[in-house]
Amino acid sequence: MAQVIEQEITEEYAIYRGDCVDVIKGIPSDSIHYSIFSPPFASLYTYSASPRDMGNCSSHDDFAEHFKHLIPELFRVIKPGRLVSFHCMLLPTTKTRDGFIGITDFRGQLIKAFQDAGFYFHSEVVIWKDPVTAMQRTKALGLLHKQIKKDSCMSRQGIPDYLVTMRKPGDNDEPVAGRLTEFVGEGYPEHGKESDSRSIEIWQRYASPVWSDINPNETLQHRSAREHNDERHICPLQLQVIHRGLQLWTNPGDTVLSPFMGIGSEGYESLRADRRFVGIELKASYFEQARLNLRSANHETMPLFAGLDQ
């Protein structure tokens, strides 16, 4: 039975506070049209002190052991032929924790875990990040200019974000089809609304393997959800990235799932795009902030949700 600590169910969304591995078991099989989320970045960021928090782990192997229990449930609830997108990055190592300075292929580890559960590797896009901003925020040795003067063999490029998309095998019985009429990102296409030329131009931007036109600052405010001494850093998923995923891979009225809802970024964009949303979040302060963010979203009403069995 789903272990739900708290829930809020409306005509547009259903959100649950609890361990995502437990709660997702109450979602019917083949009922979710699309899932998009940012998983905990292994042991890089700690979001809460709870032993059930996947980000609260001592190693990458520890995280992988916990995460592998979620992926089969995601496979079960996603409709055949539909997609799961996750936001991730390569993870820097530290001499103190790992014994060397370098990079771990966290992205590749996640892809393999999804493939092992039966998903197909569908696509990925690199999301450009400013290395100067990263240098100022992290003081990473490899990004410092003084390292070029000292020994450039220890210098490196910045680490981008990725949006990786996996597909559940089977035929999609509800095709997502039609022109692209709305562009989300920096630098507005010039062609007229509803025209094929405009749709082509938008698609050419979206089809790029590198998205350099995402505003990194367009995220939901997170500071009100912070608690003392329980996290080192918040890495919210950019709203424009979420919206592009919804545009490309969902229809109006589709149900979108985030097993790591956080403060509700995926739900906020889903409701604004006339999609329905199911979210799961363990941390109480994040759940409360997500509730406020979803209530403030500009959306149309949708058919009534039924709650999960508890």
Q: What is the pLDDT of residue 192?
A: 61
Q: Which amino acid is at 168?
A: K
Give the pLDDT confidence score for residue 139 in this predicted structure: 86
Q: Does the pLDDT of residue 191 top 80, yes or no?
A: no
Greater confidence, 306 or 255?
255
> What is the per-residue pLDDT for 196?
85
Which pLDDT band holds residue 308 (cuts at 50, 70, 90)? low
DSSP string, the chain: ----SEEEE-SSEEEEES-HHHHGGGSPTT-EEEEEE----TTS----S-TT-TTS-SSHHHHHHHHTTTHHHHHHHEEEEEEEEEEEE-EE--HHHHSS-SEE-HHHHHHHHHHHTT-EEEEEEEE---HHHHHHHH--GGG-HHHHHHHGGG------EEEEEEE-SS--SS---S------SSS---SPTT-HHHHHHHHHHHT-SEE----TT-S---GGG--TTS-S---PPPHHHHHHHHHHH--TT-EEEESS-TTTHHHHHHHHTT-EEEEEE--HHHHHHHHHHHHHS-----SPPPPPP-
* Full-model pTM: 0.87
State the chain's mean pLDDT as an integer. Answer: 86
pLDDT class for 277, splitting at 50, 70, 90? very high
pLDDT confidence band for 303 (50 / 70 / 90): very low
* pLDDT computed for residue 225 by the predictor: 53
Q: Is the pLDDT of residue 49 over 60?
A: no
Please tell me which of 40-44, 57-61, 80-84, 305-309 the model is most confident about, judged by mean pLDDT.
80-84
Residue bearing tokens 């969902």: 250
pLDDT at 97: 82
* Tens-place pLDDT, residues 119-154: 999 999 999 999 999 999 888 889 999 999 999 999
State mean pLDDT over 180-194. 80
- Residues 85, 219: Cα–Cα separation, whole Å: 18
Count of positions (residues) in the chain: 310
- The answer to whether residue 247 scores a pLDDT higher than 70 is yes
Query: Does residue 56 or residue 296 have the better pLDDT?
Result: 296
Please name the amino acid found at residue 123.
S
Minimal CA–CA distance to 106: which of 124, 125, 92? 92
Cα-based distances in Å from 87 to 69, 148, 153, 223 = 19, 31, 29, 21
- Residue 232: pLDDT above 90? no
**Is residue 189 very low, low, confident or very high in pLDDT (cuts 50, 70, 90)?**
confident
The yes-or-no verdict on residue 194 having pLDDT over 70 is no
pLDDT, tens digit, for every residue of 55-110? 545 556 667 778 899 999 999 999 999 999 999 999 998 888 888 989 999 999 99
CA distance 237 to 189: 24
Q: CA-CA distance, 229 to 31, in Å (whole number)? A: 38
Give the position of tokens 């450009």. 128
pLDDT recorded at residue 90: 93
pLDDT band, residue 43 (cuts 50/70/90): low
Q: Is 229 exposed, middle or buried (0-12, 13-18, 19+ CB in 10 A)?
A: exposed
Res 300 pLDDT > 50: no
At residue 137, the pLDDT reads 87
pLDDT at residue 307, as a whole number: 52
d(CA 185, CA 188): 7
- Percent of the chain beyond pLDDT 70? 82
